[in-house]
Amino acid sequence: MKSNQENSHGFLDRLKEGLSRIVQLSAAKHPLSRLSASLFGQRAKKIKILKERYRHSRLRESCHKERTRKDLLNYFHLPENLLKYFRLPENLKSAVHKLHFKGFKSLYFRLSEKLISAIHIPKFSLFQLSVTDSFRKYFSRKTAVGGIVFALVISLLIGANLKIDAYAVEVDGRKLAVTTEKASAEKLVLDLKAEKVNIWKRKVDMQQKLAYRPVKVKRYQVDNFIELKNILNKNLTFVAVATGIKVNGQVLVVVSDDKTAEEVLQQLKDSFKPDNANIEAVTFAEKVEIADVPVSLKEVVPAPQALQLLKEGRQKKVVHIVKQGDSLWTIARANDMHVADLLKVNTSIRGEHLNLGQEINLVALEPMLSVVVTAQKTVEEILPYKTIVETDRNGWRGQQKIKTRGVNGSREVTYKLMMKNGSIVGKEVLDQKILKAATNQVVVRGSKVVVASRGGGGTLGWPISGRITSGYGRRWGQMHTGMDIDGYKGQPVGAAAAGVVVSAGRDGGYGKMVTLRHGNGLVTKYAHLSKIEVSVGQNVERGDLIGLVGSTGRSTGSHLHFEVISGGRFQNPMKYLK
């Protein structure tokens, strides 16, 4: 079975043979009458017909040329009016002429694409085409440029409507722009951030949440670099970032940077380290963090102020300067405080001694941060002596004398200290060594009770025994506020009842006097003593020795002036002694 190519060659060969015969006949110089006679064998009858056919053949020849041009355009899918501007090679023209035969159109429609694919066209190159003068006249340089521009516009329009892969730039879930380069967009954000850092001279942060979502968009919907930069610069909000010191999740102090924050925390730890101690650990009682926080510039504090805030708190500090005549009691009363509160705030005060110009804190400052220190410290301590009391049955109760004076010793002790903000909250003895043993003090105290010669069933006991030389009431035109009991110099005076010594010393005309407070508004006074045996604040029992009879002050001889005061008024002592 012959192939399509072989069939086409045979078909074209037959066409070529038939056409060549026609060309030969037309090329021969025979008159029309001889041509018609040779072909049909009829000379006279068909001259008219031959003439008509000859005329029509000439017309068909011109039509064939036109049809050849159109068939070439259709076959090669070329634009109209194109071939008139080109000169075709002869072999190509002849091949096109072969397509015009009787019945070709119907055959084309019958065979359709199979026929076209089977037709063999001679090889030729487009360089064989030459441009005619009419083409040069019709197509100028501007026309060519316009065509190229038109073709580019068409291609751009087609490309712009094609969908491509891209990323939607979203800020807080809101779409702002579209880009094909995610890395370039991320670098652009970093560049914008760097610009703010350069301007503000501080770290910056972005408040919004930036995301890149994959999308498919048309090419013309993609934003270029400049548009993307303008959009991000307009919609992104940058804030200054500083370093916050967080305590239990709460920002307490804001400083300029991480290095400053670390230095402040280290200085805070160092400020509570004990001297001459082996530090084991320094930690914070709370959870402490260093984090970047967006703040306004006025919230950033310098390092010294940050340290003070963490150490002392934000409460305003009030200080009292010690002046002449001040004591803890007077300072506390003047500021509506208790002495115990002053001692709690001022941990450096030892005892009641104050120095002129000394600063006394009046407000308790609670630190924002607690520093816990664990350390070992070896100190030399005083080993206090012990007091041993011996009883002398012949001595008066309340009287005592030192038989052997005590001497303190010393020891070297190693402690494990647990401290919080400089105060010791726990102490454990790890080791100790006695450097010098203490000498105990021996005290001899009397046990004999002072009892008057006469007693009564009253509230008070008689301070001494003796006759009454001057009673309570008016005397020599004046009021005598007590009673005088006769006695000899050095005679022991006992307390009329249990109480507390509120005063002991000289008091004008009373001379040496002791005042006891017994409770329930009852007070007793013992005047003109030659010696006082008690001190202020001392507790005494009924019959305890408080002094010796004498004649100090305005007195005419040795005796005891005894007064009783109840409810702030002088009372007749006899009412309480009987």
Question: Rounded CA gap, 388 and 444, in Å?
Answer: 9
Angle 560-565-568 from CA coordinates, rounded to 5°: 145
Query: Helix or strand or coil: residue 100?
Result: coil
* DSSP of 214-242: EEEEEGGGS--HHHHHHHHHHH--EEEEE
User: At 80, which amino acid appears?
Assistant: E
Segment holding 195, helix H or strand E:
helix 182-200
What are the tokens at 554?
A: 């305005």
The whole-number pLDDT of residue 332 equals 81
The whole-number pLDDT of residue 214 equals 92
The whole-number pLDDT of residue 108 equals 41
Token look-up 């941060």 returns 369
**Angle between helical axes of 90-98 and 47-76 (0-180°, round to 10):** 110
* DSSP of 430-497: EEEEEEEPPBPEEEEEEEEPP--SS--SSSS--SS-S-EEE-SEEETTEEE-SEEEE--TT-EEE-SS
Q: What pLDDT, in 10s, does the model give residues 275-303?
A: 888 999 999 988 999 988 877 666 788 88
Mean pLDDT of 55-84: 53
What are the tokens at 154?
A: 């068409």
- State the pLDDT confidence band at 564, using cuts at 50, 70 and 90: very high
Query: Helix or strand or coil: residue 273?
Result: coil
- State the pLDDT confidence band at 29, using cuts at 50, 70 and 90: very low
Q: What pLDDT, in 10s, does the model give residues 471-522?
A: 888 877 788 889 999 989 889 998 988 899 999 999 888 999 999 999 888 9
Mean pLDDT of 396-419: 85
Q: Do the strands 441-448 and 387-396 form a parallel or antiparallel pair, or are they unpaired?
A: parallel
pLDDT tops 50 at residue 427: yes
> Where do the domains of the chain lie, and which CATH numbers do they carry?
4-133 (no CATH), 163-236 (no CATH), 244-361 (3.10.350.10), 371-445 (2.20.230.10), 450-577 (2.70.70.10)
pLDDT tops 90 at residue 526: yes
Provide the 8-state DSSP code for 510.
G
In terms of pLDDT, which residue wins out, 127 or 237? 237
427: which residues sit within 8 A by CB, 6+ positions away?
A: 415, 416, 417, 418
Query: Helix or strand or coil: residue 558?
Result: coil
Of 374, 391, 174, residue with least CA distance to 281: 374
* DSSP of 117-130: HH-------GGG-E
* Dihedral sign of CA atoms 301, 306, 312, 317 in order: negative
Question: Rounded CA gap, 264 and 310, in Å?
Answer: 9
Question: Rounded CA gap, 439 and 405, in Å?
Answer: 8
In terms of pLDDT, which residue wins out, 459 or 569? 569
pLDDT tops 70 at residue 105: no
Question: Rounded CA gap, 42 and 40, in Å?
Answer: 5
Report whether 424 contacts 572 (CB < 8 A). Answer: no
The whole-number pLDDT of residue 40 equals 44
Q: Decide: pTM greater than 0.75.
A: no
The whole-number pLDDT of residue 525 equals 95
pLDDT tops 90 at residue 113: no
Report whether 409 contacts 382 (CB < 8 A). Answer: yes
- State the pLDDT confidence band at 30, using cuts at 50, 70 and 90: very low
The whole-number pLDDT of residue 52 equals 66
Q: What pLDDT, in 10s, does the model give residues 32-67?
A: 444 444 444 445 555 666 666 666 665 655 555 555
Alpha helices in 45-181 (DSSP H): 47-76, 90-98, 104-111, 113-118, 133-138, 141-160
Mean pLDDT of 236-241: 78
Mean pLDDT of 566-573: 89
The whole-number pLDDT of residue 1 equals 44
Angle 558-562-566 from CA coordinates, rounded to 5°: 170
How many residues are there in the chain? 578
Question: Rounded CA gap, 297 and 349, in Å?
Answer: 41
Q: What is the dihedral of CA 535, 541, 545, 549, to 10 degrees?
A: 90
Q: Do the strands 210-218 and 163-171 form a parallel or antiparallel pair, or are they unpaired?
A: antiparallel
Question: Rounded CA gap, 14 and 310, in Å?
Answer: 113
Q: Which residues of 299-338 are buried (b: 16+ CB within 10 A; e: fewer)?
A: ebbebeebbbbbbbbeeeeeebebeeebebeebbeeeebe
The whole-number pLDDT of residue 83 equals 47
The whole-number pLDDT of residue 550 equals 92
Backbone angles phi, psi at 202, to 5 degrees: -155, 155
Of 359, 347, 263, residue with least CA distance to 306: 263
Provide the 8-state DSSP code for 305.
H
| 417, β-bridge pairs | 375, 427
Q: How far is CA 522 from the centre of its chain?
A: 67
Report whether 443 contacts 460 (CB < 8 A). Answer: no
The whole-number pLDDT of residue 160 equals 60
Backbone angles phi, psi at 6, to 5 degrees: -65, -40
Of 278, 169, 279, residue with least CA distance to 225: 169
In terms of pLDDT, which residue wins out, 194 or 52? 194
- State the pLDDT confidence band at 133, using cuts at 50, 70 and 90: low
Q: Do the strands 569-571 and 559-566 form a parallel or antiparallel pair, or are they unpaired?
A: antiparallel
- State the pLDDT confidence band at 320, using cuts at 50, 70 and 90: confident
The whole-number pLDDT of residue 511 equals 92
Backbone angles phi, psi at 400, to 5 degrees: -150, 155
Question: Rounded CA gap, 250 and 265, in Å?
Answer: 16
Q: What pLDDT, in 10s, does the model give residues 145-159?
A: 677 777 777 776 666
The whole-number pLDDT of residue 375 equals 92
Q: What is the dihedral of CA 100, 102, 106, 109, to 10 degrees?
A: -20
- State the pLDDT confidence band at 455, using cuts at 50, 70 and 90: very low
Least confident interval from 66-70, 139-143, 307-311:
66-70
